[in-house]
Amino acid sequence: MRGVSIFGATGSIGESGFDLLMRAGGPDAFRTVALSGGRNIARLAEMARALRAEIAVTAYDDALPDLRDALAGSGVQVAAGGAALIEAASRPADWTLSAIVGAAGLPPGLAALERGGTLALANKESLVCAAPLVKAAARRGGATILPVDSEHSAIFQSLGSDNIENVEAVTITASGGAFRDWPLEQLALATVEQASTHPNWAMGQRITIDSASMFNKAMEVIEAHEFFDLPPRRIKVLVHPESIVHAMVTHNDGGTIAHLGPPDMRHAIGYALNWPDRRPLPLPLLDLAKIGSLTFREPCETRWPALALARGVMAAGGAAGAVFNAAKEQALDDFIARRLKFTEMAGRVAHALDRLSGQPGFGESPSSLSDVLDWDAAARKEAACPI
């Protein structure tokens, strides 16, 4: 029986992964090793019971007594905190879904890679912050990394066995998020509630706001650069309000292969679960006649300054990705806490990059997890709102 783990099981991606495992036979088809969550203890316990997990881990030490109570008599082990997440990720499993949000997903992801097996990577922050460490851990563990971001899964599927050398350009699409058509002068007034609604995708709050600001797309451009070893000039972004075409691969012979699908992450997760096979998934099939038209346009960089910041990050290399992500996480925290306007987030990130780019070692890729965490902490400090 295949051993599986989900880190961030109680989130949007985690729930979709859980749904797929349950539909595919649940505990009769999979040996669930570890499930992790945050403060939604009731849901984590319910999932752990349903899949008969070996261990359930909450990220928060103070939530351990509740988790212990919720799983009393179930036979599921319980644990809490960062070290427990790493221990759980080190347990032998064949397939691990990395679905924690933020840089917090990096340490368990690295542990899973060192151990080997397949890492289905939704946590794009891991590649943005620490691609060389992620790749080195995968090499050491003999692990396979599969993308679980709709665009990157789409590129992966469109590429097939084609040689990346023959790829002229990769285009990833962006819905444009909540404020795609807002007058520019109104963006400064955008509220957290308005930014937390997405026209097409149901996702966690943080990535939904990142979609409105296009920080999500900026992260994805860097993710594509790292995942596929593509030079930045070959990665393009198009606004595609219908969210049906997820990515396109243009070859040097003029042919472009696009990947289309309904906006439902269970496709990318299920593809990574079944790879290299394909199996039926509980998704509606596309009805293009019903959709009628698919439209595309260039993104406006005044509306979405995060895209230009991503290009700067790729050009700088070294610690820029870790700084960019952490500064973005801090700015997002401050926006959610209403300490910052929507339009001020990009400025905070640019400020952190600017301040830290002069520091010794900035141009070198972080060589260890603690190196990444140091840059992360420094970036959060620089990006934080002056109180």
Q: Which residues bind ligand NAD (CB under 6 A)?
A: 8-14, 37-38, 59, 99-102, 104, 122-125, 149, 201, 203-204, 206-207, 265
58 vs 158, which CB is nearer to Mg ion?
158
Partner in contact with 211, chosen from ligand NAD, Mg ion, none, beta carbon below 5 to 8 Å by kind: none
**Residue 54 touches Mg ion, criterion: CB under 5 A:** no
Using CA atoms, how far residue 40 sits from 37, 83, 284, in Å, is: 7, 19, 30
Letter string b/e over residues 195-208, b meaning 16 or more CB atoms within 10 A of that residue's CB:
bbebbbbebbbbbb
Both tokens of 330, joined, read 């801090």
- 225-231: long-range pairs with CB below 8 Å, 24+: 225/314, 226/127, 226/128, 226/131, 227/127, 227/145, 227/147, 227/152, 227/155, 228/155, 228/159, 228/164, 228/170, 229/164, 230/164, 230/167, 230/170
Asked if residue 360 has a cis previous peptide bond (ω within 30° of 0), the answer is no
Beta carbon of residue 48, minimum distance to Mg ion (angstroms, whole number):
28
Query: What is the nearest approach in angstroms of ligand NAD to the Cβ of residue 359?
Result: 25
Give the x-and-dash track for 120-159 against Mg ion (CB under 5 A). Answer: -----------------------------xxx--------
Q: Which does 224 bind (CB under 5 to 8 A by kind): Mg ion, ligand NAD, none?
A: none
Shortest separation between residue 243's beta carbon and ligand NAD, angstroms: 11
Residue (217 or 362) nearer to ligand NAD, CB: 217
| Nearer to ligand NAD among residue 9 and residue 93 (C-beta) | 9
Q: In 3-state terms, what secondary structure has residue 97?
A: strand
Per partner kind, with CB cut-offs from 5 to 8 A, the member of ligand NAD, Mg ion, none near residue 13 is ligand NAD
Tokens, residue 87: 């221990």
For ligand NAD, give the closer residue by CB, 137 or 154.
154
Beta strands 245-251; 167-174: pairing state: antiparallel
Q: Which tokens sit at 220?
A: 């994805």
Task: Write down the least CB distance from residue 377 to Mg ion, Å.
Answer: 27
CB of 364 to ligand NAD, least distance (A): 25
Nearer to ligand NAD, 38 or 366 (CB): 38
CB of 261 to Mg ion, least distance (A): 12
Alpha helices in 24-149 (DSSP H): 41-51, 64-70, 82-90, 106-115, 124-141
| Minimal distance, residue 1 CB to ligand NAD, in Å | 24
Q: Quote the strand ranges of the chain, DSSP E.
A: 2-7, 30-37, 55-58, 77-80, 95-98, 118-121, 144-147, 167-174, 235-239, 245-251, 256-260
Closest CB to ligand NAD among 207 and 314?
Answer: 207
Nearer to Mg ion, 149 or 382 (CB): 149
CB of 166 to ligand NAD, least distance (A): 27
Cβ contacts of 358 within 8 Å, gap of 6 or more: none
Name which of 101 and 138 has its Cβ closer to ligand NAD.
101
For residue 52, the number of C-alpha atoms closer than 13 Å in the C-beta half-sphere is: 8
> Which option in ligand NAD, Mg ion, none does residue 329 bind, with CB closer than 5 to 8 A by kind?
none
φ/ψ (deg, to 5) at 208: -70, -45
Residues that bind Mg ion (CB under 5 A): 149-151
